[in-house]
Amino acid sequence: MCTGKCARFVGLSLIPLSLVCIVANALLLVPNGQTTWTKDHLSLQVWLMAGFVGGGLMVLCPGISAVRAGGKGCCGAGCCGNRCRMLRSVFCSAIGLLGAIYCLSVSGTGLRIGPQCLMNGSWDYHFQDTAGSYLLNRTQWNLCVEPPDVVLWNVTLFSLLVAASCLEILLCGVQLVNASIGVLCGDCRKKQ
């Protein structure tokens, strides 16, 4: 596969993944679809906006850049134009890689610590000391009184962010290498 086609494939894969991260982070802001607890009782990992900023916007940029690098767009013609688009894709992919790593680390921490919830009359991170073992013990999930089903909500969405950011790390890494090769060697597609 030539560098242009590979870039287009990677870009078209990164764009929906970044949108998934944005939507997952937006849903984390409204536990169980309600805004009652949004102001005071969301966990720090939700407010860090790792899915919106890291896995979302910082990966959307390299996705679009990779699609443009793989196309026969308007940024110059011939060999030089394609190399310029590939060089831009190298820098964007590095930024996307950092964003996806940020998303992975914050989401993983959110899974490990658990949500902030009302249990035994106090709002706290009640699963923080379990080192993530609460994930395997669903009977503990019902101990959180408010927000209702917040543990299931957080586990589902943070797991989605972890999975999406792992794929984004892989794809941004592939595009980083692919675009570097494209800058050095050019695109192998035949001119029509």
- Distance between CA atoms of residues 75 and 56, nearest Å: 25
- Distance between CA atoms of residues 59 and 95, nearest Å: 8
Mean pLDDT value across the chain: 83
What per-residue confidence (pLDDT) applies to 1? 57
Q: Residue 131 region, left (φ>0) first, then alpha (ψ -120 to 50), else beta?
A: left
What per-residue confidence (pLDDT) applies to 190? 55
Tell me what percent of the residues of the chain surpass a pLDDT of 90.
33
The pTM for the full model equals 0.86
- Distance between CA atoms of residues 15 and 20, nearest Å: 9
Residue with token string 């658990």: 114
What per-residue confidence (pLDDT) applies to 187? 63
Q: Give the domain ranges of the chain.
A: 2-29+44-185
What per-residue confidence (pLDDT) applies to 105? 96
What per-residue confidence (pLDDT) applies to 14? 93
Q: What is the pLDDT of residues 33-44, one digit of tens each?
A: 777 766 777 888
In the predicted model, what is the mean pLDDT of residues 80-94? 80
pLDDT band at 78 (very low <50, low <70, confident <90, very high): low
> Do 63 and 15 form a contact (C-beta atoms < 8 A)?
yes
For residue 81, pLDDT over 60 is answered with no
What per-residue confidence (pLDDT) applies to 75? 46
Q: In this predicted model, which residue has the larger pLDDT, 152 or 41? A: 152
In the predicted model, what is the mean pLDDT of residues 92-104? 94
For residue 16, pLDDT over 90 is answered with yes
What amino acid is encoded at 108 in this protein? G
In the predicted model, what is the mean pLDDT of residues 144-168? 90
